Structure 1
């Protein structure tokens, strides 16, 4: 427990500091975290990060991760989407060149991993760089953390009906509801001091979406780990597991709130 608390305090302080600083320091942190997260998923599939197929997976993710306002791909005469499609073609060709040691299933896993992690952290950066992005990021973090805490305590106190027993046996419907309620309570208090949306109805809709999709993101990561029979996605954070264990909710929330037009 002492190690868990110490890791949480140090990592949390550093993470929040770089979010506040923004700019290149924040972008570099996102690239590092996303790269580790991708490596964790590839490892579940027994794809070594220090291999041609592991490197391709990382490159896929980087292409999707690069913020739109960072001119890192200007020297390549292809649009981001065209480059991504080109790499998919090359990845499928690798299944032939490797004589199916790198299978179609491996190729599909690599592509989906890059989309899941790459777009998740891409829109996390996107949200930070919009107007009042710092207020938005903190609101999302508060909602996700409040949901986790509310679900944990409500589940322990009132939990009776299993939410997704085949994926995460300890999660309950009552815990899920408690998570949403605490997120709404703390999120409402936050928006009283830092109003981000024009109307209360829009703020309420945003808080509900973030809380619910955050829980779905957590279940997605649990499904990965159960399918590949691993307890944690990694061990980069002593006492907390891997990067994806800490960011599973966030990287699912961010694309969803973008697609729904909240940014």
Structure 2
């Protein structure tokens, strides 16, 4: 627990200022984090990052992360993101032929899905920072962290009934609702003490929805790890696991926050 707290404090001290600064340092950070997350996911499937599928996966997730403001550059190259995705699907299938099916159709599908999963979430992390503003990013982050902490501490204190034991045996129903309650409390703090230009009802309801989304994102990654028999996606963050372990909730929260902002 002590190691987990120390790592969390150091990581937050390095991460939050870059989010606040924005611009190129923020983009570089997100690209690095997404690349590490892809590498961790490939490792679960025992696909080498130095293989053709590994390099294609990294390249595709980088293409997916290109911000909306840079869309004209992609039009200059002659293809939209969707067309690049189609091209990479074909390239992955070519690799299945070149390797005489040692790299299987299932492997190709895994690489495509993981780049969509990771790229989609981190893309909207960038979009929220660039379009919605830094306050919305902090709103999503603190909602996610509060939900995670609330679920952990309330689950340990009051949790008896398991939430989804086949996927994550430590999560409880009490923790699930405790996470939602903690997220709503943090949302109320945003309304009371920060110049958060959004209707109060929207903020509180969105906090509850994002808490649920974050917990589902956590369960989704738990299901992935359980399927491949690994405890953590990596060991980059002592006490926390890998980048994918720390951002699995974000990959659900930021796309959903973008959709909620459109309402």
Q: TM bucket by the smaller chain? A: over 0.9
Indicate the residue corresponding to 1:48 in structure 2: 48
CA separation in 2, counterparts of 1:243 and 1:100?
Answer: 30
1:9-88 pair list within 5 angstroms: 9-70=9-70, 73=74, 75-88=76-89
CA separation in 2, counterparts of 1:261 and 1:199?
Answer: 11
1:35-184 pair list within 5 angstroms: 35-70=35-70, 73=74, 75-131=76-132, 133-184=133-184
Indicate the residue corresponding to 1:241 in structure 2: 241
CA separation in 2, counterparts of 1:60 and 1:120?
Answer: 14
Describe the superposition over 1:33-88 as per-residue Cα deviations: whole angstroms up to 9, x where unpaired. Answer: 00000000011001000111100111111111111113653552111111111111
Q: Counting helix residues as a fraction of each chain, which structure ranks higher?
A: 2
Indicate the residue corresponding to 1:217 in structure 2: 217
Describe the superposition over 1:180-214 as per-residue Cα deviations: whole angstroms up to 9, x where unpaired. Answer: 11111121111222353542221122111111000
CA separation in 2, counterparts of 1:178 and 1:2?
Answer: 23
Offset at residue 126 of structure 1 (A): 0.5
TM-score (structure 2 length as normaliser)? 0.94
2:181–2:208: 8 Å Cα contact kept in structure 1?
no
Describe the superposition over 1:154-203 as per-residue Cα deviations: whole angstroms up to 9, x where unpaired. Answer: 11111111110000011011110011111111211112223535422211
CA separation in 2, counterparts of 1:39 and 1:228?
Answer: 15
- Structure 2, gaps ≥5 residues long: none
1:4–1:240: 8 Å Cα contact kept in structure 2?
yes
CA separation in 2, counterparts of 1:173 and 1:197?
Answer: 33
Q: Which moved more, 1:77-86 or 1:197-206?
A: 197-206
Pick closer, same or farther for the CA change 1:198–1:139 going to 2, 3 Å. closer
- Structure 1, gaps ≥5 residues long: none
CA separation in 1, counterparts of 2:11 and 2:165?
Answer: 31
Secondary structure of residue in 1 paired with 2:170: strand
2:190–2:196: 8 Å Cα contact kept in structure 1?
no
CA separation in 1, counterparts of 2:58 and 2:223?
Answer: 22
1:127–1:136: 8 Å Cα contact kept in structure 2?
yes
